[in-house]
Amino acid sequence: MSLQDKYKELTDTAGSIGIVNLQVREQDNVLYIDGEAPNGAAKDKLWDVYGKLDPDFRSGDVVMNINVSTMAPGARATVTTQTSNLNIRKGPGTDQPIVGKAAHNDTVTLISKTNDQWWLIRTNAGEEGYAFAQYLSPQ
């Protein structure tokens, strides 16, 4: 039985509870599970499942590199565009109208994550809208 089969419940749980950038790989008889949890409760759930599959964690055949997202609602982020302003849109998508802009290196507040690509943000001037997450870095 492969490690991915042995720990299928663990990797399935990681996918179902919103672990982003989930990567699972087997190397040298160790299963590596990497990703970012939306909150501490999600990470705790993974440890609970792992503990059920391998009581007392004795096998030593899993390494979980799961970090809790620093970009939770209320967190601050820096606009990391190359030089131009970041468009803030009415909805999550480039087809949505632009309702504001945030300058390169401005600080914004995360209201919520719509998905891995679009975050609802608020500028210091109070403009709210959706921004492409690729151009936002946690502070």
The pLDDT assigned to 70 comes to: 67
- Topology agreement, domain 3-68 and domain 76-138: no
Digit-by-digit pLDDT tens for the chain (139 residues) are 899 999 999 999 999 988 888 999 999 999 999 988 877 788 889 999 999 999 888 888 999 988 877 667 788 899 999 888 999 999 998 999 999 999 999 999 998 887 778 899 999 888 999 999 999 988 7
Residue carrying the six token digits 């997450």:
133
What is the assigned CATH class of domain 3-68? alpha beta
Helix (H) or strand (E) holding 6: helix 3-6
**Is the pTM value of this prediction over 0.85?**
no
The pLDDT assigned to 96 comes to: 93
The pLDDT assigned to 37 comes to: 83
Q: What is the pLDDT of residues 72-96, one digit of tens each?
A: 778 889 999 988 899 999 999 899 9
In sequence order, which residues have a C-beta less than 8 Å from that of residue 26 and are 6 or more positions away? Answer: 2, 3, 4, 32
Domain boundaries in the chain?
A: 3-68, 76-138
- Correct CATH for 76-138 of 3.40.50.2300, 2.30.30.40, 3.30.420.40, 3.40.190.10: 2.30.30.40
User: What length is written for the chain?
Assistant: 139
In sequence order, which residues have a C-beta less than 8 Å from that of residue 113 and are 6 or more positions away? Answer: 38, 71, 119, 120, 133
User: What end-to-end distance do the CA atoms of the chain give, in Å?
Assistant: 43
